[in-house]
Amino acid sequence: MRVEGIHHVAIKVRDLSACEQFYAGVLGLAVVARPRPGSVWLAAGGGALLMLEQGAGGPDTAPLEDAAAGLHLLALRIARADRAAWAARLAVVAETPHTLYVRDPEGNRIGLSHHPEP
């Protein structure tokens, strides 16, 4: 069992348009999806995604259990077959069909994700 790499990084931004222009226009990341209003996903190389999410910006300190939270995190790619082993090993505080959510020792949000595989 091992982490297989970065799945996605999600950043809350105040000005979505300006940030999209920077990441796509300046840095050259390709826009791959606009899954909902206020959200732009960009290809970050090696299968990783950078997700820009409209919000207040700055660190997200809301509890993972809060349905409105969870947008500011580091998500690491895991194999679907290892999900149960990770869940048994870590203190999971929230989950979706694709991702387990935990906190690191500093309280940072960490996702262990096997998206798009349910």
Q: Does 40 fall in a domain?
A: yes
Q: Does 34 fall in a domain?
A: yes
Number of domains in the chain: 1
Residue 37's identity, in one-letter code, is P
Residue with structure tokens 């990341």? 29
The range of the structural domain enclosing residue 80 comes to 5-58+71-113
Q: Along the 118 residues of the chain, how does pLDDT read in single tens digits?
A: 999 989 998 888 888 998 999 899 988 999 999 999 999 999 998 999 989 888 875 555 555 555 444 346 778 899 999 999 999 999 999 999 999 998 877 676 888 899 888 7
Q: Does 79 fall in a domain?
A: yes
Q: Does 118 fall in a domain?
A: no
Q: Does 84 fall in a domain?
A: yes
Q: What is the pTM of this model?
A: 0.66
Instruction: Tell me the two tokens of residue 55.
Output: 């919000």
- CATH of residue 40's domain is 3.10.180.10
Q: Does 82 fall in a domain?
A: yes
Q: How many CB atoms lie under 10 A from the CB of residue 19?
A: 20
Cα-only R_g, the chain: 14
Q: Does 63 fall in a domain?
A: no
